[in-house]
Structure 1
Amino acid sequence: MAIRKEGAFIEILLPNGMFSYGRILAKASFAFYNIYSENKILDLEFIKNAEIIFINSVYKYAISKNRWIIIGIIELEPNLRVLPMEFIQDTFNYNQIELYDPNTGEIKQSQKSECLGLERAAVWEPEHIEDRIIDYFEGRLNVWYESLKIKD
């Protein structure tokens, strides 16, 4: 059983046979890199220097059950030590929206305009993250991401 350690790089073998990469961040969060390759990549500096396409929380079994494999570790850069803000939106009253700080757990009332471009506060299944990665690189809308966007 792999142990979750901040700064660790993960290799994700996608269902279509392609490889993508991510990084373990604080709490339950992961950063996912703009890498979609037919071949394994072992150069951690190459991965580290790639653009991050999104950050989400993911259930721990992605690592603990070795679905995603840890391939190395480098201390987190300062910009990855602070998790991005997220939003919470009431399921029945779309006008009730809050900003959530995953670093502190603080929640405060907000306006939709302040939350545009933010991820919804949610913990993702690893297979849904894999779908999102494939859809991103294949140029398709992702059903999971779309279902979690701010509602009007």
Structure 2
Amino acid sequence: MGKRQKWTRGAVVTVPLGDGFHTYAQMLEDPEYAFFDCKTQDALPAVTVVSRPLLFRLWVMRYAHSTGRWPKIGVAPILTTLQEPVWRYNQDPLRPQDIRITFDGCNGPLGSLTDCEGLECAAVWDPEHVESRLKSHYAGVPCRLTLSLRPRVVDV
């Protein structure tokens, strides 16, 4: 692992993908990252990274950056669209018929399975799971972790 790092809003980090490839993410509001579509073997400047298309935004465990697993390469302005909160869903494990549509993972109106389409689950990801999701994306195959987090249909 690399040098220990603190959270820096706007910092761009390198996310390893294996086989000499990597991509990049930007630190938003702790613990959220924006992941950009830029699989490469080259070192890109932070301002170039944030001009690439957005893949997704996820909450990620602190040790992704604090251990230096994802090293910082610089800081770039956060795009206005990335400063807005993102709707996510949270399915109650004790009352699975209750699905909340929320910004913060806890509070929000009840929603339906249809309301969850296109939304991320309100979950904090381990960095290795994010790396696996990115590898699946670039391989053009479904990510089993993302599929496992989809809301499930329940009989009431």
TM-score under structure 1 length normalisation: 0.91
Give me the CA root mean square deviation: 1.7
Aligned equivalent of 1:21: 24
CA displacement at 1:109 relative to structure 2 = 1.4
Matches within 5 A, 1:20-99: 20-41=23-44, 43-91=45-93, 93-99=95-101
Partners of 2:100 and 2:107 within 8 A in 1: no
Partners of 2:133 and 2:145 within 8 A in 1: yes
Residue 136 (structure 1) aligned with residue 129 (structure 2): no
Kindly report structure 1 stretches of 4+ aligned residues shifted beyond 4 Å: none
Query: Once the two structures are aligned, what percentage of the paired residues are identical?
Result: 25
Runs of at least 5 residues in structure 1 that lack an aligned partner in the other structure:
none
Matches of 1:47 and 1:143, distance apart in 2 = 27
Whether contact under 8 Å (1:30, 1:56) holds in the other structure is yes
Question: How many corresponding residue pairs?
Answer: 150
Instruction: Give deviations 1:41-70, integer Å, cap 9, x for gaps.
Output: 2x2222111011011000011000000011
| Other-structure match for 1:124 | 125
Secondary structure of the structure 2 residue equivalent to 1:36? strand
Contact 1:32 1:53 in 2 (8 A): yes
CA distance in 2, matches of 1:33, 1:94: 32
Which runs of no fewer than 5 residues in structure 2 stay unpaired?
Answer: none
Q: Secondary structure at the match of 1:128?
A: helix
Contact 2:132 2:143 in 1 (8 A): yes
CA contact (8 A) 2:10 2:26 kept: yes
Tell me the TM-score normalised to structure 2 length: 0.88
CA distance in 2 between counterparts of 1:59 and 1:112 reads: 27
Tell me the distance in 2 between the aligned counterparts of 1:10 and 1:45: 12
Q: CA deviation at 1:74?
A: 1.8
